[in-house]
Amino acid sequence: MDSNFEIGSDAESGRAAILLVEPHEVLPPAAPIQFAGDGECEVDHERCVTQSTTVDLAPIIAEIREQWRRRQSWHRAEKSLTLQSKALCRRLAEGGDKKEADVIYKAALGTGEHPMAEIAFAAMFPLTEARDGVERHRKLVEKRLAKLAKQLPVAAWVESVRGVGLASLAAIVGEAGDLSAYSNPAKLWKRMGLAVMGDGTRQRRIAGVEALDHGYSPARRSVVWNLGACIVKAGGPLKEIYDARKVYEADRVETKMHAHNRAQRYVEKRFLRDLWSRWRRAAKEHL
């Protein structure tokens, strides 16, 4: 039988923890059955012993952060190898034409035809072979991240939100760490690139002295933007909030795309606020 998980607390540290509950072990009766008068019988009931061990969340969060960084590094390596392969194809295209280079690249990978396809394949082979190896290992890391995220106390709630899954939870924890460390959702928003600065402008990449105050990371912002896009596409309660917000924003901005971006940003912040609240509540309940 598989082990089960329950939320509990570590008696020594007092930190929120997951209880690993082993399957019930059924012990034999303490005494044999004894028949009494009138055909009745007396028997000691079977005893069930449950053994529990605490699993500290800190190592789980630490591993998520390390595995996420590894995943991001490998993903960047894949993109770099793809760009290098396309650069080789561009050298084979007449006049370095980008469109023809794309045709050569696809033909070399088996989609379409081009006279330079075989030459391109030979030139690209070490790069594509390396990329395939990186991709294979990246997917294994992503599976590991999902398993780790499944052990977090908010996993069940996250999976109930349409458009969001364990991969998204792992990405947020990978970028932000333990959400209990943020005293309010506004600080989590800033970590993920969604803050409103003191002058009323949105947090963004900026040069000069103000860059330190903004603390903007395009990679972290990308994680939440992708999350918001999935929520909008999936439908559900958050999509309804998006729709209402988009109507509200339409009267305040000039274009539909601007209204869409503002409404999606609003939903992203709403989800992070709810996630932060659920996380903190779980931590307090099991201290």
Q: What is the DSSP string of 215-239?
A: ---HHHHHHHHHHHHHHHHH-SHHH
Please give the Cα distance from 10 to 168 (Å, whole number).
Answer: 27
Describe the crossing of helices 256-285 and 166-176 by its angle, rounded to 10 degrees.
Answer: 80
**52 within 8 A of 19, measured Cβ to Cβ:** yes
- Indicate the residue type of 65: R
- Tens digits of residue pLDDT in 49-101: 333 334 578 999 999 999 999 999 999 999 999 999 999 999 999 999 999 99
Q: Any bridge partners for residue 5, and if so which?
A: 20
Mention every residue, 6+ apart, whose C-beta is less than 8 A from residue 209. none
The residue ranges of every structural domain in the chain are 4-57, 152-287
pLDDT tier at 206, thresholds 50, 70, 90: low
End-to-end CA distance of the chain: 29
- CB neighbourhood size of 208 (10 A): 6
- Tens digits of residue pLDDT in 249-274: 999 988 999 999 999 999 999 999 99
- Indicate the residue type of 171: A
Whether the predicted model's global pTM rises above the 0.85 cut: no
Nearest CA to 105 out of 114, 96, 133 is that of 114
